[in-house]
Structure 1
Amino acid sequence: MHQAGKADKMTVPGTNTSGHGSASASAPEEKQASSGARRSAVLVHDRALEAYGFGGGHPFNPLRIRLTLELCEALGLISAPSYVSAEPATDEDLTTVHSLNYVRRVQGCNEPGADLADLLAYGIGSDDNPIFTDMHRACAHVVGAVLEASRLVMRGEVEHAMCISGGLHHAHRSRASGFCVYNDAGVAISRLKEEYPGIRIAYLDTDAHHGDGVQWMFYDDPEVLTISMHETGRYLFPGTGDVDEKGGGEAAGYSVNVPLEPFTHDESWIETFEAVVPEALRAFKPDIVISQNGCDGHALDPLTHLSATMRLYEHIPRRVHDLVHELCDGRWVATGGGGYDIWRVVPRAWTALWCAVSHQPLPQELPGDWLLERGLQSPVRLPETMLDALEDFPPVARAREIEERNRRTADEVLRKVVARIS
């Protein structure tokens, strides 16, 4: 769904469009007027969304979502009114970015006599993306939830919306990839572009893996800015995300990739984030930010080679929160993403995300009841504090060399890519 040509910035509730175009959409104002003051934050989730998982010993385990929500509830950070449910995405939604042939393959993959060789050509039934029961419905439900979160924000009903079942950023137009079958952010972006002509959407991805699926869907579209900070593809799936992948045609500069060195630690990651992300977002001037918040860059994650701690996963959402209020009247949709240490890392990282989304301080300690109940089930000892103890994560070898390489990468991104955003 590549689109060329740059439209003026649209007018949405509360946006100052001075210096930009005035193409307007009346629906947001009408909705906001009828519903009163917008709510601060909602969490788009219901138990059916936890059906998205590949079973057995597959690393993508929906238990991580249940653990996160139970932790937030035990800490008193979520109450029933915070939750909003959503319907699965329709075929019409899905085919804004996926081919109809592909959607039909996913829909038919559970049928008796399904052609497994044909499905495999679409990435369905591979080791990464094995077939599971009611696969289409579970995948479409995730897309529908992120789409609902995006519409709630754009209609002016809430400032921020979070959907941690989302973040399936590797799915391509006609191929499942990297535990991702349908691309929830891709559909949400495409639908918002249809419903709000001229909208400028920033997609920010801080998963350890490159946000390739979203990038390629909008690679030639100057109304969509994609920013991905990830471990360099020299060593990690999907092998893409080099600095020179910077967008095509009139969108040159609108795909911002920041490949980080293996074993990048908190200080270097934060320094690189602060060097690139605020400048790119300020240059682009988005109407809404959709962030993918994979937490698989943590030192304990089994699938990557990065060395972050919870300090990073407290910092990033807090800074994104600051930036969306600075740049786009607080319009922010936050999704989940990768994260494969489901006991020690994911619940704490996404609790920190919810705290930023919902304007709540991050608690220092995990609740005793939750630790007792889940600690009996966990195969590893659970941390008792929200942030990691520094002594548990000693300085990485070659830290200064890693820092210098990441600084050079950030400088290159700013010179080659961000300087072209307007």
Structure 2
Amino acid sequence: MSSKAAFIYSDEYLNYYFNDDHPFNQKRLVMTMDLLRGLNLLAEEHIEAPRQATNDELSLVHDPLYIKAVKEAGHTDGELAIAASYGLGTEDTPTFKNMHEATALIVGGTIRACELVMSGQYRHAVNLAGGLHHGFRGRASGFCVYNDCSVAIAYLRKHYDAKVLYIDTDAHHGDGVQWAFYDDPNVLTLSFHETGKYLFPGTGNITERGDGQGYGFSVNVPLDAFTEDESWLDAYYSVLPTVARGFKPDVIVTQNGCDAHTFDPLTHLSASMRIYQEIPKLARALADELCEGKLIATGGGGYDIWRVVPRAWSLLWAELSGQQVEHNIPVPNDWIKKYQPLSPVQLAPTLLDPEGIFPPIPRRNEITTKNKNTVEKALLYCPRG
């Protein structure tokens, strides 16, 4: 088993582009690449090219009629009459030119990551363009056209007969992946997210535990709005090891949305960069312990592209590629000089947020108590070692 990590990337990923005003901005990928190179964390030898997912691969999860509609919508001048019935052409998920090709490449990137890890060529693989966890069998949703996480998991099931643990730490519930495997005891979906009370998609309740043979293999940890680092990490460290050791996966797939940060404009959690150092650290340790290190990591949400996403994903890559970073490592001056003139906010000077820069949350004790109760309920029905 190789000790190396693969970084799946192509400039063609930037073709997944809705419009100038859309919050899903792929500039964050370019900024992350530049930051990683500025920190000497990413070399050309790490980079592997993605490939297009085939129709058969997409059909492992997606309805062929939906795939046909996506193709047509990306090659039609004006609106496709049936697009709205497939969730396309909405404010969240507008249609764009060559939509099928752009999204199939992202899906293929995550499949490629699976192939590289399962073959033993790499121990871990990262596809930051992936993490499109809201896509459904026959419908686009929440900025996601095809669901690369679901397709990759289905690919791992079909070609490797692998038991898959899916860990989703995006602030939004990983609904598309959960429902795709809701009755499958060989896929355990675990999502840590802001409660759906005030946030899209409104699902991810503690009572969503799976169906039929899959009962107990869907685990949700909905955290209260304004949850801070300590409570967030307490939930993560309480639930994930128990679930992982009880399930005993053959491979781990993670979705690493970084919109739980207090700066994110679309969510209401209050985490700092600290959680993005801890998230991959525990996932990697459990992969090493339980499945010979087999870990595929994807990106996901993250809408403060200036202060949060590049730093969070740099920490993810540093951990999975075995490169340690100091707590107060400065962001390179050249990177700040390049992007500060473009940024509407002051860029962060260090990779992690300094201690004590965020004001305390008034309801902290109440939020912490609520989250502890949620963790206890989540642990009641999950697999245990």
> Does structure 2 conserve the Cα–Cα contact (< 8 Å) formed by 1:129 and 1:178?
yes
State yes or no: 1:399 paired with 2:364.
Answer: yes
Whole-angstrom distance in 2 between the partners of 1:329 and 1:150: 14
Distance across 1 between alignment mates of 2:81 and 2:216: 39
The 3 A distance-change label for structure 1 pair 112 and 327 is closer
> CA contact under 8 A between 2:75 and 2:98: conserved in structure 1?
no
Correspondence for 1:261: 224
- In structure 2, what is the Cα distance between the partners aligned to 1:97 and 1:332? 21
Is the contact made by 2:72 and 2:80 (CA closer than 8 Å) also made in structure 1? no
1:251 corresponding residue in structure 2: 214
CA distance in 2, matches of 1:113, 1:50: 21
Measured in 2, the distance between the counterparts of 1:242 and 1:195 equals 32
1:318 to 281, 299, 306: 281
Aligned to 1:30: none
User: Aligned residue for 1:327?
Assistant: 290
Counting only pairs closer than 5 Å after superposition, residues 287-306 of structure 1 correspond to structure 2 as 287-306=250-269
Deviations along 1:239-264, whole A, 9 cap, x unmatched? 00001100111111000000000000
Give per-residue Cα distances to partners, 1:108-137, cap 9 Å, x unaligned: 003346763410110000000011111110
Q: What is the one-letter code of the residue matched to 2:151? A: V
- Aligned partner of 1:217: which letter? A
Rate the CA distance shift 1:275–1:317 in 2: closer, same or farther, 3 A: same
Match of 1:33 in 2: none
Q: Residues 133 and 115 of structure 1: is their aligned pair in 2 closer, same or farther, counting only changes over 3 Å? A: closer
2:179 aligned residue? 216
SS at match of 2:252: strand
| Structure of greater Rg | 1
SS in 1 for 2:302: coil
Identify which range, 387-396 or 343-352, moves more after superposition: 387-396
Report the Cα offset of residue 235 of structure 1: 1.1
Select which of 245, 264, 270 maps to 1:307. 270
Q: Secondary structure at the match of 2:142?
A: coil
2-structure distance, mates of 1:39, 1:329:
10
Give secondary structure in 2 for the equivalent of 1:384: coil
Task: Provide the rounded CA distance (Å) in 1 between the counterparts of 2:204 and 2:80.
Answer: 31
1:17 aligned residue: none
Conserved? CA contact 1:254–1:421, under 8 Å: no
Please point out which of 79, 104, 108 is paired with 2:68. 104
Q: Displacement, 1:391?
A: 3.1
TM-score, structure 2 as length reference: 0.97
Q: Could you tell me which residue of structure 1 aligns to residue 349 of structure 2?
A: 384
Task: State how far apart, in whole Å, the 1-side matches of 2:252 and 2:319 are.
Answer: 14
- Structure-1 residue corresponding to 2:308: 345
Deviations 1:75-108, CA, capped at 9 Å, x for gaps: 1000111000021101011011000000000000
Where 1:375 maps in the other structure, the secondary structure is helix
Q: Over residues 199-245 of structure 1, what are the superposed CA-to-partner deviations in whole Å (9 max), with x where a residue is unaligned?
A: 21000000000000000000000000000000001111000000110
**How many residues in Structure 1 have an aligned counterpart in Structure 2?**
383
SS in 1 for 2:342: coil
**1:202 partner SS:** strand
Given the superposition, is the C-alpha separation of residues 194 and 378 from structure 1 closer, same or farther in structure 2, using an over 3 Å criterion? same
Structure 2 CA distance, aligned partners of 1:116 and 1:262? Answer: 38
1:129-162, CA deviations, whole angstroms, 9 ceiling, x for partnerless residues? 0111111100000000000001110111100000
Q: Which amino acid aligns with 2:365?
A: R
Structure-2 separation of matches of 1:207 and 1:188: 18
Distance 1:320 1:112 in 2: 42
In the TM superposition, what is the alpha-carbon distance from 1:378 to its structure 2 partner? 1.3
Q: Secondary structure at the match of 1:395?
A: coil
- Bigger shift: 211-220 or 361-370? 361-370
**CA offset digits 1:26-52 (Å, max 9, x no partner):** xxxxxxxxxxx6251010111111211
Aligned residues of 2:204 and 2:222 also touching (Cα < 8 A): yes
2:111 equivalent to 1:147: yes
Amino acid at match of 1:102: Y
Separation in structure 1 between the aligned mates of residue 69 and residue 41 of structure 2, nearest angstrom:
40
Task: For 2:384 and 2:82, locate their aligned partners in 1 and report how far apart those are by CA, in whole Å.
Answer: 41
Give yes or no for the alignment of 1:63 onto 2:63. no
1:253-291 Cα distance to aligned partner (Å, 9 max, x none)? 000000000000000000011111110000000010000
**What is residue 200 of structure 1 aligned with on the other side?**
163
Aligned AA for 1:359? G
Q: Could you tell me which amino acid in structure 1 is paired with residue 221 of structure 2? A: V
Q: How far did 1:397 drift?
A: 1.2
